[in-house]
Amino acid sequence: MLTDREVLSTLNMLRNEHLDVRTVTLGVSLFDCASDNFDTFADKVRAKIHRYAEKLVATCDEVGDKYGIPVVNKRISVSPMGVVCASFSPDQMVRACKVLDEAAKAAGVNFLGGFGALVEKGMTRGDRALIDSLPEALSVTDCVCSSINVASSRSGINMDAVALMGETIKAIAERSADRDAIGCAKLVVFANIPQDVPFMAGAYLGVGEPEVVINVGVSGPGVVKKAIDRAMESNPNRTLSDIAEVIKRTAFKVTRVGEIIGSEVANRLGLPFGVADLSLAPTPEVGDSVGEIFQSIGLSSIGAPGSTAVLAMLNDAVKKGGAFASSHVGGLSGAFIPVSEDSSIAAAAASGALTMEKLEAMTSVCSVGLDMVAVPGATSATTLSAIIADEMAIGMINNKTTAVRIIPVPGKVVGDLVSFGGLLGEARIMAVPGGTADTFIKLGGRIPAPIHSLKN
């Protein structure tokens, strides 16, 4: 049972430390909307999303007001459209994306995820049509996000898909060049994507999920930082074991708050509650940064030697505390390090303290991967594919989720500032590693899955 002191500390988190529920995401299966007639498909999609999402935003606000805990984002995830729209052409895929965008706006949510495909072992005609439609689909819509899973620990890495995604990301950047290539900020390339992610841009509702479900994503990097600061002020002789315990207990409280909110929203809507995602997700706001936690634990900034070790401890402690607080944990669950969305990480990248190579090393111990990284617009498609391949390899070999959300901004060079607005934040263009991978990427094929019986 929580003590009076812990109840008071939770109230302080609400008032002074940016504690909130980052997202309540309504998952809606669209498999029963499939049709080879586009108009029939569109009518079914509009009707079904409207039926279940009509009261989502109002209900989240009511529950948030009741507990005094804001639900920052209300979102929708749908079935992978590469499957639902398997018979459509690329032009029809663009129209399908517009239908989803309209439905999301009508519901009042800020993002809808699921315009994606699962191609880790091979690519169907529908998957290819969806990927071919992405440059136009993501540049003419506002709310729709896409995720493409190109690798898994069981299937290996589909290098044909990796090569295609490098070219696709370049094309998306060109189509949205007038807005700092913002279309790329709505696309994530995954290895081992979970089926119940509530966070964007990777959210989608997988094949084994219910007809409709409420998933919740908790956050709270500012809360964790303040808890560490208080612990160090009260006793400067604390060890890393003590700090891990502080993080674990804080994660427990944050997750319990999220599960209460998510469960009540689900009950009021008459829907099942799915999972709580235990991720520490930052915002561009000062005081709500994952990067600042590194400074509280004694590093000059994120990116300094020791950063990978600190991140591993942070990630593990968050999972341990959160898992005890929730009966159903899912999604990504860990610490996010999106460069542009975290003021401290963006500052470290701008100063050169944090490099692409160090970011990649850190992604081996956290969720999710290279996230919201802006690179020079002249970066070649094969270099982007090679960066994706490296990150997919980390996920495949270590049996974990990894992802790449990279943004080659046309006309921009290393050091230039790019701004995506709102939660997506702003960052300086980072340098990519030297060398070329043209011949490697053009080989294509599939990197075999690793053997699991000789782990070392």
pLDDT, tens digit, 9 for 90 and up, residues 204-254: 999 889 999 999 988 888 889 989 999 999 998 999 999 999 999 988 888
CA dihedral 315, 284, 329, 152 (to 10 degrees): -70
**pLDDT value at position 3?**
56
As a whole number of angstroms, the distance between CA 233 and CA 175 comes to 51
User: Does the structure show a pLDDT above 80 at 125?
Assistant: yes
User: Does the structure show a pLDDT above 80 at 57?
Assistant: yes
Q: Which of 13, 40, 77 is nearest to 206 (CA)?
A: 77
Mean pLDDT, the chain, integer: 91
As a whole number of angstroms, the distance between CA 157 and CA 188 comes to 16
Q: How confident is the model at residue 4 (pLDDT cuts 50, 70, 90)?
A: low
Q: Is 216 left (phi over 0), alpha (psi -120 to 50) or beta?
A: beta
Burial of 405 (0-12, 13-18, 19+ CB in 10 A): buried
Query: Which of 135-149, 396-410, 418-432 has the least mean pLDDT?
Result: 418-432
Backbone angles phi, psi at 434, to 5 degrees: -75, 180
The pair of structure tokens assigned to 401 is 């989720």
As a whole number of angstroms, the distance between CA 46 and CA 104 comes to 9
pTM of the model: 0.93
Q: How confident is the model at residue 423 (pLDDT cuts 50, 70, 90)?
A: confident
Which domains are seen in the chain, by residue range?
1-455 (3.20.70.20)
CB atoms within 10 A of CB 366: 25
Mean pLDDT of 293-309: 94
Contacts of 435 (CB under 8 A, 6+ apart): none
Find where tokens 């529908």 sit. 126
User: Does the structure show a pLDDT above 80 at 454?
Assistant: no
Contacts of 328 (CB under 8 A, 6+ apart): 273, 274, 275, 276
